[in-house]
Amino acid sequence: MSAASMDPAPRLTGSNISRLIRLPNQTGTWLLMLPTLWALVLSSKGAPPWQLVIIFMLGSFVMRSAGVILNDLADRSFDRHVARTQQRPLASGALSPTHAFVVLTVLLTIAALLVAQLNALTIMLSPVALVLAALYPFAKRIIHLPQAVLGVAFGWGTIMAWTASRGRIDTAAWLTFAATVCWAIAYDTIYALQDLDDDRRIGVKSSALYFGSATWLAVAVASAMMLFLLGTSAGTVGIGGIAYGVLAAVGIWFAKQADELRRPISPARAFELFHQHAWIGTAILFGLVLGFWW
């Protein structure tokens, strides 16, 4: 009897679902959620309704979970050949695609119920979020900068948050959206450094491969643009100086990261630098809140 024939059959267990939606690692949820909270704070001048805060926090968890399922469904044949991902439930066979679609359906139903609590414009914009989440896994097969597509998908949450708060899309909303795109390019390029050899071998595209030895410069430029765009957005709504102090401190942190990327780093260190962005985004959120209250 072969080893393959002895593999356990796929089972829809709590443990496998937890692994499927990356429950132990919620960095991705934070990176999706934080820009929506920036948008809520900016659009409400520091006093977002708690109902909207709760809806977008829950929605970020649900949509990030749905997004990783869509990603794993599209990439399961690739994931089997990448050391970091070959034990994911779909790649390893612990779950079947049918199981994944069942969990995905439940998540999207919850997302729809959350969106139904919002105004008509935000409801009209919500299908775009699902389309972008579905497109991202295929971007790495087509373009050299799939991280930009991820940024657009994550940034769309800022547009929905803004319309949920104000009922319209202001210039500041688009500036916050663009800042989120630039931020995603920066941190996801760092994330992609974990898989350089595997991505090169199996033919998957990434910004880390595309920029090569200039990756540190690309991350620095994207980070600087993010700060400029977010600072401009904050300025249009009349935020106080403390917010700019926080953005300046974040800029110093970004510069330290870019400088470290000028030298080869291990996959483990790349993940650590990526993970730091959840804390960076949290610091920015507090800076924006304090900018309206201090």
Per-residue pLDDT band for 137 (boundaries 50, 70, 90) equals confident
For residue 101, the domain's CATH number is 1.10.357.140
Instruction: Note the pLDDT of residue 7.
Output: 54
Tokens in use for 266? Answer: 């291990």
pLDDT digits (tens, 9 = 90+) for 158-183: 999 999 999 999 999 999 999 999 99
pLDDT above 70 for 6: no
Mean pLDDT, the chain, whole residue set: 92
pLDDT digits (tens, 9 = 90+) for 215-237: 999 999 999 999 999 999 999 99
- Tokens 């990756």 sit on residue: 215
How many CB atoms within 10 Å of residue 254?
22
pLDDT above 80 for 286: yes
**Residue 182 domain flag:** yes
pLDDT above 90 for 186: yes
Q: What value does the mean pLDDT take over residues 270-293?
A: 96
Greater pLDDT, 78 or 97: 97
Chain-centroid distance, C-alpha 117: 23
Angstrom CA distances, 59 to 68, 110, 124, 235, stand at 14, 8, 16, 28
The CA-based angle 128-134-138, given to 5 degrees, is 130
**Residue 202 domain flag:** yes
Residues with Cβ within 8 Å of 141's Cβ and at least 6 positions away in sequence, in order, are 204, 205
**Residue 154 domain flag:** yes
**Residue 1 domain flag:** no
**From CA 35, how far away is CA 185, in angstroms rounded?**
14
Q: Domain count of the chain?
A: 1
Give the least confident one: 9-13, 34-38, 126-130, 259-263: 9-13
**From CA 39, how far away is CA 5, in angstroms rounded?**
51
pLDDT above 70 for 107: yes
Q: What value does the mean pLDDT take over residues 104-130?
A: 96
**From CA 291, how far away is CA 294, in angstroms rounded?**
6
pLDDT above 80 for 238: yes
Owning domain of residue 159 = 12-293
- What percent of the chain has a predicted confidence (pLDDT) above 70? 97
Classified as helix, coil or strand, 67 is helix
pLDDT above 80 for 104: yes
pLDDT digits (tens, 9 = 90+) for 153-163: 999 999 999 99
pLDDT digits (tens, 9 = 90+) for 32-82: 999 999 999 999 999 999 999 999 999 999 999 999 999 899 888 777 877
**Residue 41 domain flag:** yes
Tokens in use for 171? Answer: 């210039």
Tokens in use for 61? Answer: 């968890």
Instruction: Note the pLDDT of residue 48.
Output: 96
pLDDT above 50 for 1: no
**Residue 149 domain flag:** yes
- What percent of the chain has a predicted confidence (pLDDT) above 90? 79
pLDDT above 60 for 145: yes
**Residue 3 domain flag:** no
pLDDT above 70 for 5: no
Instruction: Note the pLDDT of residue 81.
Output: 76
**Residue 4 domain flag:** no
